[in-house]
Copies of this chain bind each other. A is one copy, B any other.
Amino acid sequence: MTLREAAEIIGGRVEPEYSDLEITGPASLDDAGSGDFSFYGSPKYLKSLRKCMATACLVPEGFDEDMGPAPVFVQSPAKAFALLLEHFAPDPVAYPPGVHPTAVLAENVQLAKDVHLGAHVVVESGARIGKGSVISAGCYIGHHVVIGEDCLIHPTVTILERSKIGDRVILHPSVVIGSDGFGYELRDGRQQKIPQTGIVEIGDDVEIGANTTVDRARFGRTRILNGTKIDNLVQIGHNVTIGENSILCAQVGISGSTKVGNSVTLAGKVGVNGHIEIGDGAIVSAMAGVTKSVPPKEILVGLPARPMREFKENFVLLRNINKLYERVKVLEDRLAGAGE
């Protein structure tokens, strides 16, 4: 693609002397080489831009700094870059409808139209898979599992018995849905397993990252509602409910019976206690530990997690505690002097 063509796609402007240059793919400022195009979205990347080896770079209109790449002027470099990316994206993997001959299906499985079952997939008795859904190689679909339409289940995912998955759900490799909740009762000094007889129910448009685990309920349901996105290596305990359109970043852990609201953001490695509620729109920053219920829209930081403002004031006072020690020493010296 020439820069002229690129500029047309993104509604940008390229100087005539550069318009015949060829670009062959996207790259970040630091990574780019000849043939690549990149974008410059914020002054904090100016240093990277100056060393950038790309053939072209999308920059904001009116941008006027010396740089190696040919500039393409656009209103929003980030948005224009995203648009141009689509033209260079490789075709996504195609999963043609059909059942691979090595897949193992129980007799009373219901497959809707256009389902793809990959190699070595196992589908147990009573399972139902909706129209257009893809079950990639090596997945295990347990007894009486229900999967909706147009789902994309990546390789080696395990969905255990009676779990329910909505429409357009994406599960990344090695996700486990419906493992037993972690519940024991101490009897005579030994941990006795409490039966976990409930299910997992996942709404529409949910995406769950690689190696994440969602435990089935002790009874009733562990639920993840529509539109929520969960990153890799997250743990969702039994009987938890996650609301709609929430974001759970990598390595988050949520203990049993907790309710997370709608549009909540839990940053990386956040831990959440059991049997509490996190209100709609709350944001918990990375590595914080939430010990008690959180009102809607609260922003929380730290371990134990506290409201951002309270945390910050306290944090600054603690960080400068050496100065308070010094001030007390001065007072002591003065009083010692005064007392003599």
Chain A interface residues toward B at CB < 8 A:
25-28, 31, 82, 85-86, 88-90, 93, 100, 102, 104, 118-120, 122, 124, 136-138, 140, 142-143, 154-156, 158, 160-162, 170, 172-174, 176, 179-180, 182, 184, 189-191, 193-195, 197, 205, 207, 209-211, 213, 215, 219-221, 227-229, 231-233, 235, 237, 239, 245, 247, 249-251, 253, 255, 257, 263, 268-269, 271, 273, 286-287, 289, 302-303, 313-314, 317-319, 321-322, 324-325, 327-328, 331-332, 334-335, 338-339
Contacts and interface: CB of A to CB of B under 8 A. Distances in A.
B313 A317 contact: no
A174 to B, nearest CB: 5
A207 B229 CA distance: 29
Contacts of A268: 235, 253, 255, 271
A332 B322 contact: no
A104 to B, nearest CB: 4
A306 to B, nearest CB: 9
A81 to B, nearest CB: 8
A179 B90 CA distance: 15
A232 B235 CA distance: 7
19 contacts: A26-B219, A89-B195, A90-B162, A104-B119, A104-B137, A154-B158, A156-B174, A158-B174, A176-B232, A179-B210, A191-B227, A191-B228, A193-B229, A213-B250, A233-B233, A233-B253, A253-B269, A255-B268, A324-B324
Nearest to A84: B219
Contacts of A100: 104
A132 to B, nearest CB: 17
- State how many copies of this chain the complex holds: 3
B140 A194 contact: no
Chain A interface, >50% SS class: loop
A77 to B, nearest CB: 14
A331 B336 CA distance: 10
Contact of A174 (B90, B174, B215): B174
A216 to B, nearest CB: 11
Contact of A235 (B189, B250, B253, B314): B250
Contacts of A89: 195, 197, 219
A154 B179 contact: yes
A191 B229 contact: yes
A121 to B, nearest CB: 9
Contacts of A193: 170, 207, 229
Given A220-B26, A332-B331, A156 B182 contact: no
Nearest to A252: B251
Contact of A303 (B303, B317, B325): B303
Contacts of A189: 245, 263
Nearest to A303: B287
